[in-house]
Structure 1
Amino acid sequence: MITIQVLGTGCKKCVSLKENVEAAVAELGIEANIVKVDDINDIVQFGVMSTPALAVDGEVKIVGKVATPEEIKAAIA
C-alpha cells in the first residue's frame, strides 16, 4: 500500500488538495494511506517551502498548488 502525504497547515487549498487525493485514489481503485501533514517543522523536513504540496511514499511530487485528481493520478503512477 502506498502512503500519500498532503502537506499543508490547514488552509482551504490544503483541504481541497486532500479531497482531490481522496477522489484520485477512489478513481484508481487502489488502497492508499492518506496522511495530512500539518506541522510546519514536518513540512520543512520534506524541503517544501510552498503549500499545499503532495508527497507519495515520502517523495515530493507536487508543490504550491491544488492538483486536480488527474494530476494526482499521474503523480501516483
Structure 2
Amino acid sequence: MTAKVLKVKHCRTHDGKPLASIDGLPGDMADLQPAQLRAYAAVMQRIADDCEARPMGPRTYRELSVKYTVDA
C-alpha cells in the first residue's frame, strides 16, 4: 500500500456548523480494495471527529488546515 495525503481545511458553514473541505480524495470511479476502503474510512472518521471537536464560537473559531495520511 502507498501512503496518500489528504489536505483538509477545517472551517464552518454559513450558519456556523463544522465543515471540512478535503483535497486529495480519489476521483470518479476509483478502484479501491477492501483494505484501502477501510483505511480511507478510518481517516474520514478521524476528520469528522476533529471537525466536530473544534470550537465554533464567535471568539474561539479559527480555520485550520491539517494533513491526514491514509496508508492505502
Report if TM-score (shorter chain) is over 0.5. no
**TM-score relative to the length of structure 2:** 0.30
- Ranked by relative contact order (alpha carbons within 8 Å, sequence separation 6 or more), the top structure is 2
**TM-score relative to the length of structure 1:** 0.29
Q: Larger Cα Rg: Structure 1 or Structure 2?
A: 2
Larger strand percent:
2
Larger helix percent:
1
